[in-house]
């Protein structure tokens, strides 16, 4: 594991290509070990986690369901522990905790275990931890400990690792040929190879619009429903790091109410990709309408098509044919932009803005 002196959020973003490449290399043995106790008849997976890890699980879910022909239920561990119904039909539980010691996630996993006969996989960056002890098998994210409070590297490691588990499960159950499984791995390899390029293009994009981003009082991102996890993470990152009001809307959410909050100083990001034709058409119609309300329209495109409106505000990135793999690259521009905007604002990310907040929530039991 490479050690870094005084690492920053950007340091970890720049390690994404390397670490995800390592996960790809480890795929055969790591996925086999993690799935060793999962039944061939598996049909219903439950993922329990919190915070950005929850957004990562939501990002991977559409690919997982399609690839492995399974129902993937993603639950916030806090909500599940306090209010969740334990479905006895669940046959596989995946608990995600980077430290392996998150007490809420551990308790939620125990609740699910008590009400099912499911196999438990612990996904963590710490091989020796309470989560690994609790689970039947484990999956190592290979990220080590991120020593900054706002995860970036680990986020994408979780997305890829969950996609890998579903791919291997599908292959093990003969839902796709060895050739098709290898093609999927090749596709992932190409996406990973374009991560550093994505970081650089996002860096250049920021420099082009430094002033406009710095003056923003509100940000919104909009994309297809399959990007719900990415949009939620964009909202999380910009709120935590840039510290101005930020929302991530699926296209459906935006068209059913979100559009009513638009105003002339509103900065909007549209994440475009090749997906269902009606979704793509609706996205263009929304963007066209909103451009009448605000000039601050920005597009992050994975379609390999020149923008219909040549406004020079489109960030063209590596075109991804399978829209369900887009989350692996789509979060990176938002990670990069949030870092640079915060830095320009003089925000010291190593010092929490409300450093007594968590302590104030603790109650005597």
pLDDT recorded at residue 1: 43
Q: Smallest Cα–Cα separation from 154: which of 50, 61, 246?
A: 50
Global confidence as pTM: 0.96
User: Residue 2 — very low, low, confident or very high, per pLDDT cuts 50/70/90?
Assistant: very low
At residue 308, the pLDDT reads: 63
Which pLDDT value is given to residue 184?
98
Give residue 364's pLDDT band: very low, low, confident or very high (50, 70, 90): low
Asked if residue 298 lies in contact with residue 283, where contact means CB atoms within 8 angstroms, the answer is: no
Q: Does residue 365 have a pLDDT over 50?
A: no
Do 129 and 247 lie in one domain? The reply is no
Q: What is the pLDDT of residue 357?
A: 86
Q: Which of 193, 227, 253 is the last residue of a domain?
A: 193
Q: Specify whether 184 is located in the same domain as 232.
A: no
Three-state secondary structure call for residue 119: strand
Count of structural domains within the chain:
2
Residue-level pLDDT at 310:
60
**Per-residue pLDDT averaged across 260-269, rounded?**
95
Averaged pLDDT for residues 330-344: 97
Residue 241 per-residue DSSP state? I
Q: Are residues 172 and 80 in the same domain?
A: yes
Half-sphere exposure of 38 (CA within 13 A, CB side): 29
Tell me the average pLDDT across 88-97. 98
Q: Do 106 and 255 lie in a common domain?
A: no
Q: Which domain holds residue 92?
A: 9-193
Bridge partner list, 75: 48
**In this structure, is residue 354 part of a structural domain?**
no
Residue with tokens 């929850």: 54
- Tell whether 136 and 29 lie within a shared domain: yes
Q: State mean pLDDT over 314-334.
A: 97
What's the pLDDT at 306?
Answer: 75
Among 163, 193, 223, give the residue marking a domain's end. 193
Q: Based on the fold, state whether residues 276 and 133 are members of the same structural domain.
A: no
Q: What is the pLDDT of residue 65?
A: 98
142 and 33 together in one domain: yes
Is 352 part of a structural domain of the chain?
A: no
Q: Are 217 and 318 in contact (CB under 8 A)?
A: no
Same domain, 189 and 250: no
Do residue 49 and residue 182 come from a single domain?
A: yes
Q: Do 44 and 180 belong to one domain?
A: yes
Indicate the pLDDT class of residue 7, thresholds 50, 70 and 90: confident
Percent of the chain, pLDDT > 70?
96
Co-location of 173 and 89 in the same domain: yes
Per residue in 19-44, pLDDT (tens digit) is 999 999 999 999 999 999 999 999 99
Residues in a beta bridge with 96: 123
């Amino acid at each position: 594991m490479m050690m870094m002196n005084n690492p920053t959020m950007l340091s970890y973003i720049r390690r994404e290509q390397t670490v995800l490449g390592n996960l790809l290399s480890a795929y055969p043995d790591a996925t086999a070990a993690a799935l060793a106790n999962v039944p061939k008849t598996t049909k219903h997976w439950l993922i329990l986690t919190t915070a950005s890890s929850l957004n990562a699980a939501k990002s991977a879910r559409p690919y997982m369901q399609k690839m492995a022909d399974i129902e993937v239920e993603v639950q916030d561990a806090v909500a599940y522990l306090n209010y969740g119904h334990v479905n006895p039909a669940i046959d596989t539980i995946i608990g995600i905790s980077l430290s392996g010691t998150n007490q809420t996630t551990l308790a939620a996993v125990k609740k699910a275990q008590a009400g099912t006969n499911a196999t438990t996989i612990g996904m963590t960056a710490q091989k020796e931890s309470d989560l690994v002890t609790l689970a039947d098998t484990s999956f190592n994210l290979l990220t080590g400990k991120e020593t900054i409070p706002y995860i970036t590297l680990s986020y994408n490691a979780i997305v890829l690792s969950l996609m890998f588990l579903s791919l291997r499960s599908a292959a093990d159950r003969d839902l796709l040929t060895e050739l098709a499984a290898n093609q999927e791995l090749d596709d992932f390899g190409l996406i990973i190879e374009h991560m550093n390029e994505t970081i650089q293009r996002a860096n250049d994009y920021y420099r082009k619009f430094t002033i406009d981003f710095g003056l923003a009082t509100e940000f919104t991102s909009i994309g297809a429903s399959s990007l719900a996890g990415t949009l939620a993470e964009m909202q999380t990152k910009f709120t935590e790091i840039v510290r101005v009001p930020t929302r991530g809307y699926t296209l459906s959410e935006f068209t059913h109410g979100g559009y009513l909050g638009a105003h002339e100083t509103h900065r909007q990001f549209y994440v475009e990709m090749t997906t269902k034709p009606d979704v793509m058409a609706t996205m263009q119609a929304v963007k066209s309408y909103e451009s009448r309300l605000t000039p601050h329209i920005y597009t992050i495109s994975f379609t390999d098509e020149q923008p219909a409106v040549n406004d020079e505000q489109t960030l063209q990135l590596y075109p991804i044919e399978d829209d369900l793999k887009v989350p692996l690259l789509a979060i990176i521009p938002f990670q990069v932009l949030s870092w640079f905007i915060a830095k320009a604002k003089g925000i010291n990310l190593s010092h929490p803005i409300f450093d007594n907040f968590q302590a104030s929530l603790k109650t005597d039991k």
